[in-house]
A and B are shown apart, each in its own frame.
Chain A
Amino acid sequence: MSPALPTNIADCDIHPAVRSMTDLEPWLSKQWIDHFRTYGALRQTHYVSGAPYHKSQPNASRRDAYPPEGGPQGSSLEFLRKQHLDGNGIGFGILNPLVQSQGVRNLEHSAALCRAINHWQAEVWIANEPRLRASIVVPYEDPEVAAEEIAFWADNDSFVQVLLLSRTSFLPGQKRYWPIYAAAAEAGLPVGIHAFGNSGWPVSSVGWPSFYMDEMIGHAQTSQAGLVSLVIEGVFERWPSLKLVLVESGFTWAPSLMWRLDKTFDTLRSEVPHLKLKPSEYIKRNVWWTSQPMDEPENKRFLADIFDWLGWDRLLFSSDYPHWDFDDPAKVITFPATDEQRYSFFIGNAKAVYGF
């Protein structure tokens, strides 16, 4: 049931953390250092001190992932190397920093923080660990500036994708965000959209739920809305070779979403004459999903159906290290799969998408 893992697998979602925001100061001007110390980074959410829904663990991270030298989980390259890269046989890992920067209300501050985080990734992490690559963090609520950030790093081999969060202030396919996709297409970089962010809207289309659990489950619905927008607005019609990777959004919802979109498109296509293909055809051509959190049907073979329906070439292994809902690569495929399928999932698809 558990054949050996391929060696040197790819983990497409690793979260490096700052020990504190002062880690970014080497790349911030005195103005922004003073600004942050005085006013913080204003977000579109409730607390200065944390998230609107309290996480299940401190920093939403594994209790066994605190580095021995101190600091929050994910803040030590040495311990990441030991516990995760060596420990789980990771040969290629993509960093997706969720450090406060994207979606900060003061757009110039957001841009300054994103630039600093990108320097920090390149100089502290990637320069010291050949197995890692980074994602370009962009101030997506100021799309022109985000496009400049992409262009700034486009030739730097440390970076393999552009990172957005799923909770943008407007639906991500809308024209206001197109400079980002134009820049990513120009640079030949995939766009990764990771769950989370603070859109300024309630976390669901039916208002604020009570529980962290609703929020976590709800990322799947919010990611669906984002994908629908990207498809229906015609982003993939405009940039046919753009690669979109949905990170930590879940993926088992994707087949039924495609069926629903195709059915609705059949009836309402006169509204969207700019679409030349069926919605599912764009999704099959342009979209990939990372695997974590892997859903858990009572019958594990049902998951194999979803892999079959989406295609084994569309799913990329991710662990979400060091977060609490981490998926262990040795345990993540719970149903029979061929060696070829496992290779695609753990290595081949990431190679095809990120070109490493």
Chain B
Amino acid sequence: MRIDCDIHPFVPNTRALFPYMPEQWREMSEVRGIDDLHSINYPDSTPLTVRADWRPSDGRPASDAATIARQALDPFCSDIGILNCLYGVQTLFSEDLAYAYARALNDWVRAEFLDRDPRFRASIVVSLENIEMAVAEIERCAVDRRFVQVLLLAGSARPLGRRNFWPIYQAAIRHDLAVGIHAGSELRNPPTALGWPSFYLEDYAANAQSFQYQLTSLFTEGVFNRFPTLKVVMLESGWTWVPALLWRIAKYWGGLRMEIPWADRSPAEIVRDQIRFSLTPTDAPPDPAMLTRLTEHIGSDEVLLFSTDYPHAQFTDDEVFPEAFDADFRDKICNANPLATYRRLGALP
């Protein structure tokens, strides 16, 4: 059994979502010329957004079930692929418009992918502009067991540990859903804490820092203490930064625990118990022995989940795994770890 935890279907344009949208929003989109919501997190034509051999001669990649099955599932022998759609609905400011587009997007994923290939699972896309609407959308989609996760973006308006977001975590737990946090941003804040970078390379690299702020916030606010069964999955986050961050959190937890008296487990324990990371990209050191050592720093073989990050260009050919990982570790990453993370996969045929 192999489960790919991070595959990205691309929405061709807003018109593709119109069939899944009430007349009011469809008409408004047409009248106002809302043709596309493609966010700057992954500009179409950069070499990172689409791997060259996965790029079609025209149009967007990864826009239909057959293509994704052919390019992302079959070559990697994946039995299950979890779809995380990154269309920029989270950047919309109007709560109503964002809700309408999130609903349409989830229904598009269901009709165009889940209903067309039984190997697909998906994440529920929500906008955080209005938490009640986000919870309503989770409730609506959760009826379909093929949705296995709620999808948030690493670049949120406020840190994701903050209490106003907790109804989302409660809803996720209620329905056996994991909470995925994916690279990318709602862009309520610039990509860095020092403003807007000059280069896309910096935008992309900065995702790792946003994840670090988020992990810190989830720890300090006590999300894992309040919700000990919650699983948070950091997707396309990179993961080689994890040990250094945990050491720093531990350092300041030692000095400042008066601020957060509910923190009763070390950050390292919390990660081992409740936080997971998708494998790709592996921001790997030049020497495989260093990567082996780094996995010792993490101190658990349960935190990585197999992912191709298709169609993003993160590796060549089919070399998803770092050389340093042995067969047993690879198997765990593909199978046992995702199954232990995504409760809804437990009842697989």
Contact = CB atoms under 8 A, between A and B. Distances in A.
Interface string A169-180: 111111000000
B205 A205 contact: no
B78 interface: no
A239 B155 CA distance: 33
A264 B48 contact: yes
Q: Most B CB atoms within 10 A — which of A170, A206, A213?
A: A206
Q: Which 9 A-B pairs have the closest CB atoms?
A: A295-B247, A260-B283, A252-B244, A225-B192, A221-B209, A204-B213, A207-B158, A256-B240, A213-B256
Interface string A263-296: 1110110111000000000000000000001111
Contacts of A225: 192-194, 202, 206, 209
A216 B243 contact: no
A281 to B, nearest CB: 12
A118 interface: no
Interface stretch (A73-81, A302-310, A337-345): A302-310
Contacts of B290: 255, 305, 309
A82 B185 CA distance: 51
Contacts, number: 244
Interface stretch (A140-148, A152-160, A195-203): A195-203
Nearest to B263: A213
B200 A205 contact: no
B328 to A, nearest CB: 23
Contact of B293 (A169, A171, A305): A305
Interface in A161-199: 167-174, 199
A308 B284 CA distance: 16
B197 A272 contact: no
Of A56, A167, A209, A305, most buried by chain B (CB within 10 Å of CB) is A209
Contacts of A272: 199, 201
Interface of B: 46-48, 154-162, 185, 188-202, 204-206, 208-210, 212-214, 216-217, 220-221, 238, 240-241, 243-256, 258-260, 266, 268, 281, 283-286, 290, 293-294, 296-297, 299, 313
A325 interface: yes
Contact of B238 (A228, A255, A260): A260
A270 B313 CA distance: 15
Contact of A167 (B157, B194, B214, B254): B194
A220 B209 CA distance: 9
A260 B208 contact: yes
Name the residue in B195, B199, B206, B254 with the highest tally of chain A Cβ atoms < 10 Å from its Cβ: B195
Contacts of B216: 209, 213-214, 217-218
A70 interface: no
Given A206-B210, A220-B248, A226-B194, A213 B220 contact: yes
Interface in A82-116: none
Contacts of A270: 47
Contacts of A252: 243-244, 247-248
B260 A201 contact: no
22 contacts: A167-B193, A167-B194, A169-B195, A174-B198, A199-B193, A204-B210, A205-B193, A205-B210, A206-B157, A210-B217, A213-B220, A222-B193, A252-B243, A252-B247, A252-B248, A253-B244, A259-B283, A260-B283, A268-B47, A296-B254, A305-B290, A309-B285
A122 B130 CA distance: 55
A260 B250 CA distance: 23
B297 A221 contact: no
A295 B247 CA distance: 5
Most chain B C-beta atoms within 10 Å of own C-beta, residue among A168, A170, A214, A257:
A214
A309 B240 CA distance: 13
Contacts of B244: 220, 250, 252-253, 255-256, 295, 306
A339 B195 CA distance: 43
B213 A293 contact: no
Interface in A242-265: 250, 252-253, 255-257, 259-261, 263-265
Given A218-B216, A306-B244, A232 B156 contact: no
Contacts of B202: 171, 225, 228-229, 232
A295 B213 contact: no
A202 B297 contact: no
Contact of B214 (A206, A210, A220): A206
Contact of B209 (A167, A205, A214, A325): A205
Chain A CB within 10 Å, residue with most, of B155, B156, B158, B266: B158
Nearest to B185: A205
B201 A295 contact: no
B194 to A, nearest CB: 5
A335 interface: no
Contacts of A250: 244, 248
Given A167-B194, A232-B202, A214 B162 contact: no
Contact of A206 (B159, B198, B201): B159
Given A225-B194, A225-B206, A205 B189 contact: yes
A171 B194 contact: yes
A202 B194 CA distance: 9
A224 B268 contact: no
Contacts of A168: 194
Contacts of B260: 211, 213
Given A255-B285, A296-B247, A302-B297, A209 B213 contact: yes
A171 B202 CA distance: 11
A68 interface: no
Given A206-B210, A207-B156, A256 B192 contact: no
A212 B285 contact: no
Contact of A325 (B255, B258, B296): B255
